């Protein structure tokens, strides 16, 4: 289990300890791929890649809600609605 702590100010996410972050970085610098880092440290692949998610869970729920309201909406309309909602 990775060394994490709960961070309530940012929602239901766990925050990695500095030690775990250093291990991920070290393994990346050593040439390990994302899958092997994930397996070795027991962290999700998305965590070991270091790339943040583009959509938050709230954004995903909003898109699903908009699709349920208008099933035949176009992608451009969904993108416009999402960008208008987020600022």
Asked whether residue 44 falls in the same domain as residue 15, the answer is yes
Shared domain check, 69 and 44:
no
Are residues 33 and 64 both part of a single domain?
A: no
CA angle 53, 57, 61 (to 5 degrees): 135
Sign of the CA dihedral running 38, 43, 45, 49: negative
Instruction: State the total domains in the chain.
Output: 2
What per-residue confidence (pLDDT) applies to 61?
87
Average pLDDT over residues 32-36: 91
* Domain identity same for 9 and 40: yes
Shared domain check, 41 and 20: yes
Domain coverage including residue 11: 4-49
Both tokens assigned to 17:
């300890």
What's the pTM? 0.49
Q: 41-62, pLDDT tens digit by residue?
A: 988 887 777 677 777 888 888 8
Residues 6 or more apart whose Cβ sits within 8 Å of residue 62: 82, 85
Q: Are residues 74 and 39 in the same domain?
A: no
Regarding whether 33 and 8 lie in a shared domain, the answer is yes
In this predicted structure, what is the pLDDT of residue 27? Answer: 92
């Amino acid at each position: 289990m990775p060394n994490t702590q709960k961070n309530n100010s940012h929602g239901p996410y766990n925050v990695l300890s500095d030690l775990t972050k250093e291990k991920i970085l070290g393994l990346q610098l050593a040439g390990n791929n994302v899958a092997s880092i994930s397996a070795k440290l027991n962290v999700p692949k998305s965590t070991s890649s270091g790339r943040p998610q583009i959509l938050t869970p709230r954004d995903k729920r909003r898109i699903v809600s908009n699709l349920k309201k208008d099933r035949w909406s176009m992608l451009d309309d969904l993108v416009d609605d999402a960008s208008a909602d987020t600022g």
